[in-house]
Amino acid sequence: MGVVESDFLVLGSGIAGLSAASQLAPLGSVSVVTKDDLMRSNSSQAQGGIASVTDPTDSFQSHVKDTLEAGAGLCREEVVRGIVSEGPACIERLVAAGVRFSGGALRPDLGLEGGHSQRRILHAGDLTGFEIQRALAELCRAEPKIRLYEGHAAVDLILERHPSEAPPSRNRCLGAYVLAPDGKVTTFRARAVILATGGAGRVYLYTTNPDVATGDGMAMAFRAGLELRNLEFVQFHPTCLYNPGVPDESGRRFLLSEALRGEGGVLLTLAGKRLMEGAHPLKDLAPRDIVARAIDAEMKRTGAPHLWLDMSSRPRSFLEERFPTIFKRCSELGLDMSKDPLPIVPAAHFFCGGVETAPDGRTAMPGLFAAGETAHTGLHGANRLASNSLLEGAVVAHRIAEALARDWEAERRRPQAKVSDWDTKGAVPSDEAVIVEQNWDAIRRLTWNYVGIVRSERRLRQAQERLAVVSREVSDYYWRFLLTRDVIELRNIALLAELTVGCALSRRESRGLHYTVDYPRTLEAENRDSVASRGLGRTLAGQEAGRP
């Protein structure tokens, strides 16, 4: 394929990536690289909806207050206020792009979810993310200035100087090396690169995320010398369908939307007692960290394999209309939501931390932006408020397009640096692929058992030691053999697992999504971001610091 040239390179095809691509097209040519098909992302899996103030009885101040309370002291208030206030304009852009919200654009059917004090969740039944992704994908496919590269996996960022030779602010991102479907690594060069590769749920054994969520953008940015923040704050969704009769070898668990509890669903112990009664003033609509810990504690206390979510307070006709996808999935398993309690367990869902960015998506490195779950803007703090993620992705993508438009004339005149093609460094085809499967499984089991909902210093230290051994083997394999997608992903989850453990060990308190039995209190002295920079991912990142 040679070198692929474009003005803008977007890595990822969720709401952040496709929003950015569609809004950058009027400025110049856009390449969108996505490692699966265009519709496969965390965004397309979102059931609940997108939070925005659209009802006259609601207010920006109320949405801000709910977000700050969920974030447990670590939200950046100016970022929260900015993104919340841009919500209505964001919804207008999505509707203009062809998104069809339930109830229509003028009088949308607003849902209620945990941590929200008002009904403000715009949704498309229980397929909101899919509907948004459909509309944006159609928009991008129809735009002649956008070239779509499906089945292409980004390997690493291309830098003007080697990351060990310059701090990020004195370096520049020139593009990315990308593994094409034919197994060859192609050079993609651009004047600006947008990281929108989503989160890293696949670092854990059980997750709601699709198999593309391996933290690629976060890992590439870290290897380029950028800081990641607050990786210890991993949100575990409290209610995923427990189905031991049909095991999912990939570890993906079917999400039962928080909107179910917004429409009257209650959590029950196996004995039929209301779990959240007396546990929190909002009961079943408490923030996700509170609910997930309550479920985890009850399961550990009693040895129960699952708890129940009871929707019997609502009639069958309502449930079929409001939650058609969930209703169908449960019916396939012999469960009638209107009568049968649903067996539920938590699963890894969302990384609140990520690549440190300014509110407009700029990173510390010229030419590199980040948006969506890949980025850390400060909106989510120590715990994300339900349905704020799609809002953040769309708003920051719009800000990136505006920022690039302001600078575009000057940027077009800047001479472009020379870019080297990918060097295989003598790598050969693998004859030890079993190592990939073994280490993939080892990492994800370690994080699930040692870096889960409730943590301890001892378990974190054990995870750190074991991950160091696995990471050395992963790094050795990566440099010896020719690349495949699963090797790229394994390298990335190994790094993200190490960095997550490092961030967790650096926080000696319990706050939001990070709860440790050794430091159960929230401390004012710990009211700070954790920082993953060079040296924290000692094993894998340290070994690779001197390599291109």
* Distance in Å from the first CA to the final CA of the chain: 21
Question: Taking 90 as the threshold, does the pLDDT of residue 11 lie above it?
Answer: yes
d(CA 80, CA 84): 6
Q: What would the mean pLDDT of 498-525 be, rounded to a whole number?
A: 96
Does residue 288 have an active-site annotation? yes
Q: Quick one: pLDDT at residue 542? A: 40
Task: Give pLDDT tens digits for 346-361.
Answer: 999 999 999 999 999 9
On whether the CB atoms of residues 313 and 336 are closer than 8 A, the answer is no
Q: What are phi and psi of 42, to 5 degrees?
A: -60, -40
Distance of CA 110 to the CA centre of its chain: 24
Residues, the chain? 548
Q: Quick one: pLDDT at residue 245? A: 60
Q: What would the mean pLDDT of 209-233 be, rounded to a whole number?
A: 96
Q: Quick one: pLDDT at residue 54? A: 95
d(CA 357, CA 372): 11
d(CA 236, CA 299): 15
% of the chain with per-residue pLDDT over 90: 82
Strands 515-516 and 192-195 come out as unpaired
d(CA 368, CA 193): 5
Question: Taking 90 as the threshold, does the pLDDT of residue 224 lie above it?
Answer: yes
Q: Quick one: pLDDT at residue 246? A: 53
Name the class of domain 238-347. Answer: alpha beta
User: Which whole-number Å values give the CA distances from 185 to 196, 263, 424, in the listed order?
Assistant: 20, 49, 9
The string over 462-476, giving b where at least 16 C-beta atoms fall within 10 Å of a residue's C-beta and e elsewhere, is: ebbebbeebbeebbe
Residue 247: CB atoms within 10 Å: 8
Radius of gyration of the CA atoms of the chain, in A? 22
d(CA 386, CA 115): 7
- The alpha-helical segments, DSSP class H, found in 6-51 are 15-24, 42-45
Question: Taking 80 as the threshold, does the pLDDT of residue 60 lie above it?
Answer: yes
Q: Quick one: pLDDT at residue 45? A: 85
Tokens found for residue 19: 């929003």
Q: How confident is the model at residue 462 (pLDDT cuts 50, 70, 90)?
A: very high
Q: What would the mean pLDDT of 527-536 be, rounded to a whole number?
A: 84
d(CA 93, CA 369): 21
385: three-class secondary structure by DSSP: coil
370: three-class secondary structure by DSSP: strand
On whether the CB atoms of residues 203 and 443 are closer than 8 A, the answer is yes
On whether the CB atoms of residues 15 and 132 are closer than 8 A, the answer is yes
Task: Give pLDDT tens digits for 363-418.
Answer: 999 999 999 999 999 999 999 999 999 999 999 999 999 999 998 988 888 888 88
| Residue listed under structure tokens 């265009």 | 38
- Nearest partner of 8 among 30, 34, 23, 41, judged by Cα: 30
| Residue listed under structure tokens 């110049």 | 28
DSSP state of 530: -
Q: Quick one: pLDDT at residue 104? A: 86
d(CA 267, CA 327): 18
Contacts of 407 (CB under 8 A, 6+ apart): none
Distance of CA 71 to the CA centre of its chain: 16
Catalytic residue among 223, 288, 455, 459: 288
Q: Is 434-544 in the same CATH topology as 238-347?
A: no
Q: Quick one: pLDDT at residue 546? A: 38
Q: What are phi and psi of 156, to 5 degrees?
A: -160, 160
Mean pLDDT of the chain: 92
Domain residues of the chain, as ranges? 238-347, 434-544
Q: Quick one: pLDDT at residue 398? A: 98
Q: How confident is the model at residue 247 (pLDDT cuts 50, 70, 90)?
A: very low
On whether the CB atoms of residues 52 and 90 are closer than 8 A, the answer is yes
DSSP state of 213: -
Q: Quick one: pLDDT at residue 251? A: 60
CATH of region 434-544, choose from 2.70.180.20, 1.10.150.650, 3.30.2130.10, 1.20.58.100: 1.20.58.100
Q: Quick one: pLDDT at residue 274? A: 96
Task: Give pLDDT tens digits for 147-201.
Answer: 999 999 999 999 998 776 678 888 999 999 999 999 999 999 999 999 999 999 9
Q: What would the mean pLDDT of 529-536 be, rounded to a whole number?
A: 82
Q: Which of 187-201, 239-253, 267-281, 385-399 has the lowest mean pLDDT?
A: 239-253
On whether the CB atoms of residues 261 and 239 are closer than 8 A, the answer is yes
Question: Taking 80 as the threshold, does the pLDDT of residue 105 lie above it?
Answer: no
d(CA 497, CA 463): 9
On whether the CB atoms of residues 329 and 200 are closer than 8 A, the answer is no
Q: How confident is the model at residue 1 (pLDDT cuts 50, 70, 90)?
A: low
Q: How confident is the model at residue 138 (pLDDT cuts 50, 70, 90)?
A: very high
Task: Give pLDDT tens digits for 26-35.
Answer: 999 999 999 9
Contacts of 225 (CB under 8 A, 6+ apart): 163, 166, 167, 168, 171, 365, 534
Q: Quick one: pLDDT at residue 319? A: 96
Task: Give pLDDT tens digits for 487-510.
Answer: 999 999 999 999 999 999 999 999
Put residue 372 in one of left, alpha, beta given phi > 0 → left and psi -120 to 50 → alpha: left
Contacts of 304 (CB under 8 A, 6+ apart): 269, 270, 298
Helices 77-85 and 388-413 pack at an angle, to 10 degrees, of 90
On whether the CB atoms of residues 324 and 318 are closer than 8 A, the answer is no
Q: What residues pair up with 307 in beta bridges, in sequence order? A: 344
Q: Quick one: pLDDT at residue 198? A: 96
User: Which whole-number Å values give the CA distances from 321 to 124, 135, 311, 326, 328, in the listed order?
Assistant: 11, 22, 14, 10, 11
Task: Give pLDDT tens digits for 73-101.
Answer: 999 999 999 999 999 999 999 999 999 99
Q: What residues pair up with 295 in beta bridges, in sequence order? A: none
**Strand locations in 8-66 (E):** 8-11, 30-34, 50-51
Q: Read off the amino acid at residue 386.
A: A
**Strand locations in 103-210 (E):** 110-111, 121-122, 146-150, 153-159, 173-179, 185-189, 192-195
